[in-house]
Amino acid sequence: MRIFHIRNQGVTEGTSLEDWTQGGLPADGYVWIACGRREFEVHQLQVQATLQALCGTQLLDLHISDLLNNQLPSHYDYTSQYDVLVFRRLAAGSTPTDLKNPGQPLPHAPPTGGPPILRRIDTSPVGFAVFDRVILTVHPADCAVRDAYAAKILQATASEAAAAGARLPTSPADLMLRVINHMVDGYLALRRELTHQLDHWQTELLNPRTRFNNWSTLLDARLALHHLDEICEEQRSALQDWIEALKTWPEPDTPGLARDYELLQVRSRDVLEHIERVVHHVRRLEQSIETAVQMHFNVQGNRTNDIMRTLTALTAIFLPLNLIAGIFGMNFEFIPLLHIHSGFWWALGAMSLIAAVMAILFWRKRYISRTGR
């Protein structure tokens, strides 16, 4: 569990919940309490006591269940005291929690099936409880977003620009949007590797000389992409609900608050645009796989037609030869050319001429020509 005090002058990291429970809310800035899901489950009473001391209220039991649920879809909810947003991440890595050590991942994650790229995308939910001056975030055990963003704001504190608060989130809601944007951009960073894997499959599917037999993995990829599409739709719906709720906030009474409110709206729309980019990319990958599969079967069908056409042409060439051979093989005593010394060569020459003429005819009509691959 990590606790930060964020204000315009910089960021300081706290030590424990007990210190904040006894000391109360600072005069300026706000507090960020970031913990793992298992940590939140174990230290639930201490977290509730800290929220009571800092905000004068606690989380409802239903919202606690939402924050602890590892299978909950992305959604938004609110009360008169705080807002709750559950956002399923799309990040690399899928490590279960070590139940004996709250907040720590297992040293060795059990292997999972499916495509090598898609199975590394973890869709565990991240929960946000946003108060006026406190934000509580509940992360998976191996969530690198929390540590990465914490390191980012701590590094910004040491720079000169942070003195004016240029790089620091101005409110708990602003911090929530920045963390969500960081999670969405994490998937965008995986696009190149994921696209490269699917392009490789498309190349194999469209190559007539390659025998593609990885159908189970391809099916898993289609199912995984369909699942990602559903998750992205839930993300977009949850963020749209947040934007609609943001419009109901009371009008700010100072220019500074008005600017912060406009910044929240702009950042919310920007995060929504990033989510829509992810949705567009996932759907494009789905369509690419579907198109590649259809083209694969079309290529195989055309290849089968070419083979049948060639076999039919060869059969047509040898059909008159078989007819001539059958005529001369009949058990009649008097057959033209049968008792002539050069009759065999005349028959063989006629058969060769017929075969050559028909082969040239079929070649000109491209019945037995080599098609480009």
Q: How far apart are CA 107 and CA 186, in angstroms?
A: 23
Longest dimension (CA), the chain: 125
Model confidence at 63, pLDDT cuts 50, 70, 90, reads very high
CATH fold label, 307-364? Methane Monooxygenase Hydroxylase; Chain G, domain 1 (1.20.58)
CATH fold label, 2-298? Beta Polymerase; domain 2 (3.30.460)
Query: Is pLDDT of 162 > 70?
Result: no
- pLDDT for 154 equals 80
Choose among 105, 91, 90: nearest CA to 37.
105
- pLDDT for 160 equals 47
- pLDDT for 276 equals 87
pTM of the model: 0.70
pLDDT in tens, 128-142: 999 988 999 998 876
- pLDDT for 210 equals 66
With b for 16 or more beta-carbon neighbours within 10 A and e for fewer, the 179-212 pattern comes to bbbbbbebbeebeeebeebbeebbebbeeeeeeb
The predicted model gives 322-332 an average pLDDT of 79
- Please state which of the ranges 54-68, 247-261, 290-304, 312-326 shows the lowest mean pLDDT: 290-304
Residue of 208 and 32 predicted with greater confidence: 32
The full set of domain ranges for the chain reads 2-298, 307-364
Q: How far apart are CA 133 and CA 154, in angstroms?
A: 19
For the four alpha carbons of 86, 90, 92 and 93, in that order, the dihedral sign comes to positive
Model confidence at 118, pLDDT cuts 50, 70, 90, reads low
- pLDDT for 92 equals 59
Same fold, 2-298 and 307-364: no
The predicted model gives 127-156 an average pLDDT of 84
- pLDDT for 127 equals 92
The first and second tokens of residue 251, run together, are 């009008």
Q: What are phi and psi of 26, to 5 degrees?
A: -65, 165
- pLDDT for 105 equals 45
pLDDT in tens, 179-193: 888 888 777 666 776
Model confidence at 77, pLDDT cuts 50, 70, 90, reads very high
The two beta strands, 91-92 and 121-122, are antiparallel
Query: Is pLDDT of 109 > 50?
Result: no
- pLDDT for 84 equals 94
Helix (H, G, I), strand (E, B) or coil at 12: strand
